Structure 1
Amino acid sequence: MQPASVPTPVTVLTGYLGAGKTTLLNRILTDNHGKKYAVIVNEFGEVGIDNDLIVDVDEEIFEMNNGCICCTVRGDLIRIIESLMRRRDRFDAILIETTGLADPAPVAQTFFVDEDVRSKTKLDAIVTVVDAKHLLGEIEQAHEAQEQLAFADTILLNKTDLVSPEELTQVETRIRRINPTATIHRTQRCDIALEKVLGRGAFDLDRILEVEPDFLDEFHEHEHDDHVSSFALVSKDPVDPNKFLPWLSSIVQNFGMEILRMKGIIAFKDDDDRFVVQAVHMLLEGDHQRAWKADEERVTRLVLIGRNLPKEIIEQGFNACRA
């Protein structure tokens, strides 16, 4: 079990209807890994593993079209996590399955905004399960499918046995148009080594772009009419922190509801440390990470994933931050 001083890792499982989330959850719960998990499902009633974690919580079913859903979900989630933390010696990690939640953001935001939750837990990753056979059909009709991809740190491209290699390449290309930074694993029946999904620290500021630091080398933009799309801002010139930080705050203030995820590494002028930033909607965090390596090119790379973002305006503001 986790020592009380170590934050309890939390993994959020999301994905469109029928993609295989429950299959993944059952795999995690029955795998012979010797760990115990507390599970919160989207009705926010708790499921006890071995029935010894059941907490008396009134089962509540939320209307997911409520405009204030962030507040509703967040308050309830905080309450449940606090009750779990009183018995944190009985499990190693928490899993949250957002079955009926189109948007994982309110769940992710909980781990930014509540100090008590933040001191005791750590968001490890948002894992999105995708149905390889049906994604291309669903993605044009269901905005939720695009949004769930946008929030992901790790994507399980599931049911790969039902499509041809050519179709699989098409699906991956489509996913990359929305989210160029997530790690993609191809699976059948969500059969994957759990260390590739759990305990990865994929949401962690210290790990951003460490896993795939070269992802932008393959980044190509497309002209398309996606509801959700992504673009990258790159500068080989150092960036002025006195311009960049206020600009970044203003972008989040003005376009935060449309920014689903943002992450990047910033090379500030006269600064030997990399500065990393990430955001979920209007919640932004940034910090110095490690020193730039001697053989490392000091390039600023910022990726925005969002709904109908005004790319030209954002790009113009970014370019004005060069030192």
Structure 2
Amino acid sequence: MSLIPVTIITGFLGSGKTTLLKRILTEAHGQKIAVIENEFGEENIDNDILVADTKEQIIQMNNGCICCTIREDLRVTLIDLAAKKRDGSLKFDRVVIETTGLADPGPVAQTFFMDDEIAEIYLLDAIVTLVDAKHGQTQLDQRQEAQRQAGFADQIFISKTDLVTTAEADDLAHRLKHINPRAPQQRVHFGEVPLGNVFDLRGFNLNAKLEIDPSFLTDDAHDHGHHDHDHVHDEHCNHPHHHKHDDDVKSFVYKSTRPFNPSKLEDFLGSMVQIYGPRMLRYKGVLNVVGMDRKVIFQGVHQLMGSDVGPKWSPGEDKTSKMVFIGIDLPQDLFRTGLEQCLA
């Protein structure tokens, strides 16, 4: 049996997760989808909305959030689903997990790597994050969960853009790009999203294309000291660009044209993951390694790190290593200095 793909949909309270889910379930795509929903409280209104017009399998976990404490619940639910698929009592092609608006998607993602039984049945495809254009800035200011959800994303959808000005939407998009330069962004209206932008994104596939916004790299090259923005409060200013944000979740990109010494790099990254793993949300890179004619692709979530041999460098291709790190207050200078010392 081939692995069952899993998509995690996350986003802060009210960002439009249920609207997106409803659209996915009612679209005529010919796929059967099992949904694992997870909301606070015993009464789940979303379930009534969804079940009304769809025959999908919806499994609820009404005990707060999918996070470290109840990862076991998620595991049990997934094992149970797989057993029902095997015996034919449930028919589905893929699983969508909708996390509660207050969840950190990290532990959910880790379940698919840390548990051997789950890893043999399921394939984590991507984390899709919705951000509400109307309230997104405030949520990012006030709630680290909102920043983490953006930091983990493989694809970001900005919803409710009809409720804000173009300048406000642009400002939010710019801020999200600094939090997570590797996730493509799309502005969506009432959950109207092409399914190709939700499913089969291969966000956790090591050989998937490393998306880093070119303009972000240009920004980074000038190194304005902190373009990750301190708060400037001006009571009389309504222009969004005047409000600078000092987000806990930040990203930085490291590039080098010199090849890496593989053993030094492995030792260094291993030690950084030991120390800073809980604060390292997502990291990914394409590396030029001494003595190899192929690219080495690496990525990780928290303490889990993996690498794989990718395609050959094309003749005449610029053999530049590119790495992006997204995390909570990571010591950027320490990472950069350490990486420099791993170069051949």
TM exceeds 0.5?
yes
1:205 aligned counterpart, secondary structure: coil
Q: Distance in 2 between matches of 1:52 and 1:169?
A: 36
Deviations along 1:64-120, one digit per CA (max 9) or x if unpaired, are 7xxxx42x3321111111111113361010000001442001110011111111111
2:27 aligned partner: 31
1:74 aligned to 2:82?
no
1:162 aligned to 2:163?
yes
| Structure 1 portions without partners, runs of 5+ | none
Q: Distance in 2 between matches of 1:86 and 1:284?
A: 29
> What is the Cα deviation at residue 251 of structure 1?
0.8
2:243 aligned partner: none
**CA separation of 1:113 and 1:219: change in aligned 2, threshold 3 A:** farther
- Moved beyond 2 Å, runs of 4+: 43-55, 211-221
How do residues 41-120 of structure 1 correspond to structure 2 at under 5 angstroms? 41-42=37-38, 53=57, 59-62=61-64, 69-70=67-68, 72-88=69-85, 90-120=91-121
> What is the Cα deviation at residue 285 of structure 1?
1.2
2:240 aligned partner: none
1:281 aligned to 2:278?
no
Q: Distance in 2 between matches of 1:278 and 1:27?
A: 31
Q: Distance in 2 between matches of 1:308 and 1:52?
A: 41
> What is the Cα deviation at residue 10 of structure 1?
0.1
- Provide TM-score, normalisation by structure 2: 0.84
1:297 aligned counterpart, secondary structure: coil
> What is the Cα deviation at residue 186 of structure 1?
1.0
Q: Distance in 1 between matches of 2:290 and 2:216?
A: 22
Letter aligned with residue 194 of structure 1? L
1:86 aligned counterpart, secondary structure: helix
How do residues 129-168 of structure 1 correspond to structure 2 at under 5 angstroms? 129-168=130-169
> What is the Cα deviation at residue 272 of structure 1?
0.9
Deviations along 1:204-249, one digit per CA (max 9) or x if unpaired, are 111041x558575444361423111111111110000010011111
How do residues 234-249 of structure 1 correspond to structure 2 at under 5 angstroms? 234-249=255-270
1:226 aligned to 2:247?
yes
1:208–1:276 Cα contact (<8 Å) kept: no
2:317 aligned partner: 296
How do residues 257-276 of structure 1 correspond to structure 2 at under 5 angstroms? 257-276=278-297
| Structure 2 portions without partners, runs of 5+ | 230-245
1:21 aligned to 2:17?
yes
Q: Distance in 1 between matches of 2:65 and 2:196?
A: 34
- Alignment equivalent of 1:10, drawn from 6, 18, 25: 6
**CA separation of 1:213 and 1:312: change in aligned 2, threshold 3 A:** closer
1:208–1:263 Cα contact (<8 Å) kept: no
Q: Distance in 1 between matches of 2:257 and 2:173?
A: 29
Deviations along 1:21-43, one digit per CA (max 9) or x if unpaired, are 01001111111111111111125
Flag the structure with larger Rg.
2
Task: Tell me how large the CA RMSD over aligned residues is.
Answer: 2.3
2:5 aligned counterpart, secondary structure: strand
- 127-136 or 213-222, which deviates more: 213-222
Q: Distance in 2 between matches of 1:199 and 1:143?
A: 28
Q: Distance in 1 between matches of 2:297 and 2:185?
A: 22
**CA separation of 1:63 and 1:79: change in aligned 2, threshold 3 A:** closer
**CA separation of 1:223 and 1:82: change in aligned 2, threshold 3 A:** closer
Q: Distance in 2 between matches of 1:285 and 1:42?
A: 29
Q: Distance in 2 between matches of 1:52 and 1:250?
A: 45
Count residues with an aligned counterpart.
Answer: 311
Identity of matched residues, %: 40
